[in-house]
């Protein structure tokens, strides 16, 4: 073979090899960062800009020419939202997008069981994966600052330690499916009233000790791959592109490598968004239907940003950081060939829904052993209240779902108790008769021709003829109830429920109230009823979950993740304000509402303890059908540890006659500190399951994290030497044993 032929052969083979060789950005054997560099080197400016904003209501383009896939997102924290039209909030009318509606996140928090958080995250992540969503827009981790916040039901309650622990395992569970979470709404987004214009003003101590921990736990400890900026302003600048929150803290101090996604329509300016650390823009006003060409080009991070880079107003290096983050998110999800395949509407998910609900329902009151039901005391039951028959998986805002099914409380009772008891149902009141949300129909007609008086009379008659009344009331997903976009207008139950419960109690004192809500309500009738269950929005298995607890198949073990205030002035946000804030015209942002967090770090039980108040029910409270006895707490200093590390141990015994779980809580008191500190703070919890007569010794480790507070002057967490106390209890107001110790 002559030289020419050989050279030709070599050239052809070389070309073939080059062609056959996988480009670096697609070669999964290479480190992600190398693949990202390679992809960026192949992208045009237009392709880089396109990556940073939506192409439809819930999706963003990949890089078509390079085969980098699109990024599909979807709500929400309690289930995967049904498909909407390309540019609309309204339904796309698909017939394959029903889902499992899992319990609300306050219910998950109320389980105080990280295993439930992992189960929850894994299950909902499997459903998102099956629906080919790369980003699940949840969990929400905003702290419960006021009981009026319309979205409390989507969050984890008032305490940063509990919220952090539960959110972190939820995140791990979801992302184990190769689906990103999008932790929201970063940050200080603690009410829905004026949510687009509220300017939250909080001290660094409140920020670092109360409002950031759950975000940090999700973003840093659990490694969330994306995070959503809130609609509100923080310190005068929009949260979703906030110099302090995003650049200095999230991407600076925390060195977080994920993608900051705006809330839908939360972006209002190109320069601010670019400089303020935003990486992806979704939901901006243009709906993709109006305007020349695709109105997505009008997004703040679209043509305006493209022109800004071209004319040197914005650096390519800054742009590349955003592109890098989005490519990293894509390679962790849509381009990750090793992801599991997910599943949806499986028996396992329905079982998970029920288990989480059973572990989250809180028994608040149970006199005369009214619960669980027994046939010797009760034959005829009057089931009263709209919430016994009302669909709760539809409505409430972006967390609204098209659940595959929903077992209502009355249905659950009928199937579980119908053979042993006579059940009659009375509506009692008419509250919300809404039939659809975003074109997902409830398939219920809850209209009722009767007058309120007639409804009451019918309910009273049923109650007087029964041995027991089970009243299903509370809130629902309508505006000014548990719903996004509006706050509640008072602490009271709506629709005249308080009066109705009192009226029923007059004719039959044997009343069980099942309060279905995602947040606290006033209970002026509490001492006139025999039992109260705090039953959250429990999703598909609502009726079966509640029937199981009422019948005693399940021993309730939930504990409150927030304080049940008797009145609003027991809550710092209302007593010291401000809520909902003071209007002001800002030269840059226009008409905004300043809302200083005057209660500072004293949120929830921290405010209750400081002011020695007595709420209806304290944080961490919950009863059981059995009884637990706590022994004496002991403390040991851990040998050989450089830092001060202690172990607290306490024996807990089930002294009742049935299996049950108890959430043992550890609070730490810093008896003397250079800055004000709460009387005590939750720094550990453990849920133990005990057979009758069984004792388990629960141990807690106390290290720097449990002892330190944030010194805003020094801008660091500090542990000051001196006396501390470890308090172990069954709730924040039921300390069973305490032990003091000295920190050197």
* 200 vs 398, beta carbon nearer ligand GLC: 398
* 263 vs 670, beta carbon nearer ligand GLC: 263
Kindly compute the dihedral angle of the four CA atoms of residues 728, 733, 736, 739, in this order, to the nearest 10 degrees: 50
Residue 284 binds ligand GLC (CB under 6 A): no
* 264 vs 619, beta carbon nearer ligand GLC: 264
* 398 vs 661, beta carbon nearer ligand GLC: 398
* 398 vs 616, beta carbon nearer ligand GLC: 398
Residue whose pair of structure tokens reads 């308090």 in the numeric block: 727
Q: Are 387 and 476 in contact (CB under 8 A)?
A: yes
How many residues interact with ligand GLC (rule CB under 6 A)? 6
**How far is 22 from 58, CA to CA, in rounded Å?**
31
**DSSP per residue over 41-103, as a string?**
HH--HHHHHHTTB-SSSSEE--BGGGTBPPEEEE--TTSPPPPB-TT-SSB---SS--B--PP
Strands, sheet with 259-262, edge to edge from the N-terminal-most edge strand: 59-60, 71-74, 135-136, 180-186, 226-229, 259-262
Locate 529 and state its tokens: 């009823």
- Residue 238 has φ and ψ, to the nearest 5°, of -55, 135
Asked about 644 being catalytic, the answer comes back as: no
Question: Within 291-350, which residues bind ligand GLC (CB under 6 A)?
Answer: none
Task: Spell out the alpha helix ranges (H) of 26-142.
Answer: 32-42, 45-50, 105-111, 114-130
Question: Within 103-132, which residues bind ligand GLC (CB under 6 A)?
Answer: none
> Helix, strand, or coil here: 388?
helix
* Three-state DSSP string of 436-483: EECCEECCCCCCCCCCHHHHHHHHHHHHHCCCEEEEEEECCCCCCCCC
Query: Which position among 55, 63, 71, 75 is part of the footprint of ligand GLC (CB under 6 A)?
Result: 75
Q: Would you call the peptide bond into 207 cis, given omega within 30 degrees of 0 as the criterion?
A: no
Residue 264 binds ligand GLC (CB under 6 A): yes
Name the minimum Å distance from CB 580 to ligand GLC: 17
* 382 vs 403, beta carbon nearer ligand GLC: 403
Residue 487 binds ligand GLC (CB under 6 A): no
Residue 440 binds ligand GLC (CB under 6 A): no
Residue whose pair of structure tokens reads 């979703």 in the numeric block: 240
Name the minimum Å distance from CB 82 to ligand GLC: 12
**How far is 590 from 196, CA to CA, in rounded Å?**
12
* 263 vs 599, beta carbon nearer ligand GLC: 263
* 77 vs 678, beta carbon nearer ligand GLC: 77
Name the minimum Å distance from CB 264 to ligand GLC: 4
Question: Within 215-234, which residues bind ligand GLC (CB under 6 A)?
Answer: none
Name the minimum Å distance from CB 74 to ligand GLC: 8
Name the minimum Å distance from CB 184 to ligand GLC: 5
* Bridge partners (DSSP) listed for residue 647: 636, 701
* Bridge partners (DSSP) listed for residue 688: 662
Site string for ligand GLC, 629-648 (x = CB under 6 A): --------------------
Name the minimum Å distance from CB 567 to ligand GLC: 29
Name the minimum Å distance from CB 516 to ligand GLC: 22
Kindly compute the dihedral angle of the four CA atoms of residues 292, 293, 296, 300, in this order, to the nearest 10 degrees: -50
Strands, sheet with 681-690, edge to edge from the N-terminal-most edge strand: 681-690, 660-670, 722-731, 734-743
**How far is 708 from 718, CA to CA, in rounded Å?**
5
Name the minimum Å distance from CB 134 to ligand GLC: 14
Name the minimum Å distance from CB 398 to ligand GLC: 4
* 129 vs 184, beta carbon nearer ligand GLC: 184
Query: Which position among 100, 333, 398, 570 is part of the footprint of ligand GLC (CB under 6 A)?
Result: 398
* 398 vs 510, beta carbon nearer ligand GLC: 398
User: Count H helices, E strands: the chain?
Assistant: 19, 29
Locate 736 and state its tokens: 């069973």
Region of residue 608 (left: phi > 0; alpha: psi -120 to 50; beta: else): alpha
Task: Spell out the alpha helix ranges (H) of 260-342.
Answer: 270-275, 303-310, 316-332
* Bridge partners (DSSP) listed for residue 516: 474, 535
Residue of 263, 279, 482, 609 marked catalytic: 263
**DSSP per residue over 354-375, as a string?**
HHHHHHH-EEEEEGGG--S--T
Q: Are 538 and 357 in contact (CB under 8 A)?
A: yes
Of the candidates 54, 71, 53, 74, which has an alpha carbon nearest to the alpha carbon of residue 62?
Answer: 71
**How far is 564 from 473, CA to CA, in rounded Å?**
16
Name the minimum Å distance from CB 62 to ligand GLC: 20
Kindly compute the dihedral angle of the four CA atoms of residues 161, 164, 169, 171, in this order, to the nearest 10 degrees: 170
Site string for ligand GLC, 179-218 (x = CB under 6 A): -----x----------------------------------
Any idea what DSSP says for residue 730? E
Query: Which position among 54, 71, 137, 143 is part of the footprint of ligand GLC (CB under 6 A)?
Result: 137
Residue 169 binds ligand GLC (CB under 6 A): no
Name the minimum Å distance from CB 144 to ligand GLC: 16
Element (H, E) at 143: none
Percentages helix, strand, coil for the chain, rounded to the nearest 5?
30, 20, 45
**How far is 606 from 254, CA to CA, in rounded Å?**
27
* 263 vs 482, beta carbon nearer ligand GLC: 263
Name the minimum Å distance from CB 316 to ligand GLC: 30
Name the minimum Å distance from CB 488 to ligand GLC: 17
* 155 vs 700, beta carbon nearer ligand GLC: 155
**How far is 115 from 455, CA to CA, in rounded Å?**
43
Of the candidates 218, 270, 214, 212, which has an alpha carbon nearest to the alpha carbon of residue 241?
Answer: 270
Site string for ligand GLC, 536-575 (x = CB under 6 A): ----------------------------------------
Query: Which position among 47, 126, 159, 263 is part of the footprint of ligand GLC (CB under 6 A)?
Result: 263
* 161 vs 264, beta carbon nearer ligand GLC: 264
| Catalytically annotated residues | 263
Task: List residues near ligand GLC by CB under 6 A.
Answer: 75, 137, 184, 263-264, 398
């Amino acid at each position: 073979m002559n030289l020419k032929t050989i050279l030709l052969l070599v050239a052809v083979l070389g070309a073939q090899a080059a062609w056959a060789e996988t480009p670096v950005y697609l070669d999964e054997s290479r480190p992600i960062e190398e693949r990202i560099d390679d992809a960026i080197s192949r992208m045009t400016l237009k392709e880089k800009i396109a990556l940073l904003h939506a192409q439809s209501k819930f999706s963003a383009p990949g890089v078509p020419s390079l085969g980098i896939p699109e990024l599909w997102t979807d709500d929400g924290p309690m289930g995967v939202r049904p498909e909407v039209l390309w540019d609309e909030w309204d339904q796309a009318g698909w017939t394959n997008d029903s889902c499992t509606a899992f319990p609300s996140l306050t219910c998950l928090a109320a389980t105080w069981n990280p295993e439930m958080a992992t189960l929850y995250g894994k299950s909902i992540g499997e459903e998102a994966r099956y629906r080919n969503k790369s980003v699940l827009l949840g969990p929400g981790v905003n702290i419960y600052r006021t009981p009026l916040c319309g979205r409390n039901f989507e969050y984890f309650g008032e305490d940063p330690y509990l919220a952090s622990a539960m959110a972190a395992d939820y995140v791990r569970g979801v992302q184990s499916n190769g689906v990103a979470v999008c932790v929201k709404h970063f940050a200080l987004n603690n009410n829905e009233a004026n949510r687009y214009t509220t300017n939250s003003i909080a001290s660094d101590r409140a920020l670092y000790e109360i409002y950031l921990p759950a975000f940090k736990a999700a973003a840093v400890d659990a490694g969330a791959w994306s995070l959503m900026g809130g609609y509100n302003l923080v310190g005068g600048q929009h949260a979703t592109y906030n110099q302090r929150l995003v650049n200095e803290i999230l991407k600076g101090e925390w060195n977080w490598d994920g993608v900051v996604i705006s809330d839908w329509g939360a972006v209002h300016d190109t320069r601010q968004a670019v400089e303020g650390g935003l990486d992806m823009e979704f939901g901006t006003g243009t709906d993709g239907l109006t305007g020349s060409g695709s109105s997505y080009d009008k997004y703040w991070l679209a043509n305006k940003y493209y022109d800004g880079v071209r004319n040197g107003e914005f650096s390519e290096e800054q742009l590349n950081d955003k592109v890098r983050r989005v490519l990293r998110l894509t390679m962790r999800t849509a381009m990750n060939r090793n992801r599991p395949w997910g599943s949806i509407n499986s028996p396992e998910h329905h079982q998970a829904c029920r288990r989480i609900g059973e572990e989250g329902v809180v028994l608040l009151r149970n006199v005369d052993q009214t619960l669980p039901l027994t046939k010797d005391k009760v034959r005829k039951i009057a089931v009263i209240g709209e919430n016994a028959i009302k669909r709760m998986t539809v409505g409430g805002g972006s967390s609204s779902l098209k659940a595959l099914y929903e077992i209502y409380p009355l249905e659950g009772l009928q199937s579980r108790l119908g053979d042993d008891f006579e059940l009659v149902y009375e509506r009692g009141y008419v509250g919300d008769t809404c039939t659809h949300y975003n074109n997902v129909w409830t398939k219920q007609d809850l209209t009722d021709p009767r007058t309120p008086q007639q409804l009451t009379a019918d309910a009273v008659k049923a109650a007087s003829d029964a041995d027991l009344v089970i009243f299903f009331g509370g809130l629902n997903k309508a505006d000014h109830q548990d719903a996004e976009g509006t706050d509640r207008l008072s602490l009271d139950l709506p629709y005249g429920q308080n009066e109705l419960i009192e009226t029923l109690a007059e004719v039959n004192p044997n009343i069980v109230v099942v309060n279905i809500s995602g947040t606290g309500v006033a209970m002026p009738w509490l001492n006139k009823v025999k039992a109260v269950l705090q039953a959250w929005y429990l999703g598909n298995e609502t009726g079966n979950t509640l029937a199981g607890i009422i019948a005693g198949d399940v021993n309730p073990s939930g504990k409150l993740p927030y304080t049940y205030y008797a009145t609003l002035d027991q809550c710092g946000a209302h007593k010291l304000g401000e809520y909902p804030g003071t209007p002001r015209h800002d030269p840059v942002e226009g008409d905004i509402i300043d809302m200083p967090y005057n209660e500072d770090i004293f949120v929830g039980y921290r405010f209750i303890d400081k002011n020695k108040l007595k709420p209806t029910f304290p944080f961490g409270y919950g009863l059981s059908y059995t009884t637990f006895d706590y022994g004496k707490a002991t403390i040991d200093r851990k040998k050989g540890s450089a830092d001060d590390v202690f172990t607290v141990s306490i024996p807990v015994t089930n002294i009742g006659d049935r299996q049950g779980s108890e959430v043992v809580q550890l609070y730490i008191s810093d008896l003397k500190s250079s800055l004000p500190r709460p009387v005590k703070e939750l720094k550990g919890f453990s849920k133990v399951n005990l057979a009758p007569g069984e004792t388990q010794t629960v141990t807690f480790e106390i290290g720097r994290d449990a002892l330190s507070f944030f010194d805003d002057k020094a801008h660091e967490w500090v542990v000051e030497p001196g006396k501390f106390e470890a308090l172990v209890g069954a709730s924040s107001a039921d300390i069973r044993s305490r032990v003091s110790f000295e920190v050197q």
